[in-house]
Amino acid sequence: MGLILDTSLFVAAERSDVSFVELLGHDLRDETVAISAITASELLQGVHRGANARLRARRETIVERVLASVPIVPFDVVVARTHARVWAELAAKGKPLGAHDLLIAATALATGGRVVTRDLRSFPKVPGLVVLQR
């Protein structure tokens, strides 16, 4: 697997009206990309949280386009094993991570991918995870 895209990228693209391709940057355009199942859920939750019907409809169009075009890595037993191990390691070190970020990180680690994110508070805590900032 190449790149696992974090939800923060999609939020940034929406808020700044920057195209997603521009946000990824020239150096990553030829990479294989995917999202974790939890990112799909976070994007869909953002649709439901829209302040009005117009915003919800706009977000739904964008999210459905993403879900139709970007592969979604499921939370399977391989990801679950990685998730459990990393969760235990971080807890033992007293470095808790948000549940969703931990699932995204585990997805990347289990698939040999790198996380592309704008959130540098959480992901760098994960041992062995390659994090690319955008």
Q: What is the CATH number of the domain that holds 13?
A: 3.40.50.1010
Please tell me the predicted confidence (pLDDT) of residue 3: 94
- What pLDDT score was predicted for residue 26? 65
Q: Is the pTM of this model over 0.85?
A: yes
| 73: in domain | yes
Residues in the chain with pLDDT values less than 70:
17-18, 20, 26
Q: Are 30 and 21 in contact (CB under 8 A)?
A: no
Q: Do residues 5 and 38 touch, judged by C-beta distance below 8 A?
A: no
Assigned token pair, 55: 């915003």
Q: Is residue 30 part of a domain?
A: yes
Domain extent, residue 100, equals 3-129
Domain membership flag for residue 134: no
pLDDT of 29 reads 74
| Domain total of the chain | 1
